[in-house]
Amino acid sequence: MIKKADLLIRVIVVGILTLLAWTEGQATMFICKNARGETQFTNVPSMPGCTEIVLPGGTMGHVSFGRRKGYDSGRYDRDIARVSRKYKVDPFLIKAIIHTESDFDHKALSKRGARGLMQLMPDTARELHVRDSFNPMQNIDAGTRYFKKLLNMFNGNVRLSLAAYNAGPRLVQELNDVPPFPETVRYVKKVLDQYRIYKISR
C-alpha cells in the first residue's frame, strides 16, 4: 500500500520530470534522504541511498496539439472498422485517438520517437510485434490492441485508459485517476471531445 505522502512526492517528481522532458528532451533525477530524514530532489546524487526516478512512459511521445496538415480523416475508416470488430473497441474512439495523436499522418514522428498514426514508441512496438510502425494497418492494429489491454486493466474506464495510453499505466493505477500533468489532462479531454464529435456526426 503506497502512503499518501509517498504518492504525493512521486506526483511532484514526475511533474518536474515532465516539464524538464519538454524542455530538454530527456531528464534523470534522484530522490534522496539526508541524515535528518528529509527528502531532497537532485539531478546529481551526492549522498548514499539515492534512488533514480524514471519518468513513466506510455505508448506515446509528446503530442503536438492543434497540428493540422490536411490529412484525410476518412482514409483509414475501413481499417479502423476492421480492427474495431477484431478487438471490440468503438471505432469512433479509435479514430479520435488517431486524430489526437497524429492527425491521420501515418508518417508522423514525435521528438521522443513515437511513430505512425497511433504514435507507438519503439519499445511498445517491439512488445506488440510490429514490424513497421509507419505501416497504417500494423500501427492501427497494434495501437488498438494495446488500448484494449488498458481498457481491460481499468475495467472499461475510457478516461483512465486514455490517461494510461498517454502517461503510462503504472502511475494511473497508483493514483486511480488521471495524473495532474497538463499534457495528459489536455490529451484525455481532446480525445473525448473528438470522440463525441465523431459520434454525433456519424
Q: Mind telling me the catalytic residues?
A: 101
Q: In angstroms, rounded to a whole number, what is the distance separating the alpha carbons of residues 19 and 6?
A: 20
Tell me which DSSP letter residue 177 carries: S
User: Residue 78 corresponds to which cell in the numbers above?
Assistant: 475501413
Q: In angstroms, rounded to a whole number, what is the distance separating the alpha carbons of residues 143 and 161?
A: 12
Tell me which DSSP letter residue 105 carries: -
Tell me which DSSP letter residue 83 carries: H
167: nearest Cα among 58, 13, 54, 22: 58
Asked if residue 50 lies in contact with residue 67, where contact means CB atoms within 8 angstroms, the answer is no
User: Residue 146 corresponds to which cell in the numbers above?
Assistant: 494495446
User: Residue 193 corresponds to which cell in the numbers above?
Assistant: 471531445
Residue with cell 521528438: 111
Within 8 A by CB and 6+ apart from 146, the residues are 59, 120, 124, 128, 165
Tell me how crowded residue 154 is: count the other CB atoms within 10 A of its CB.
19
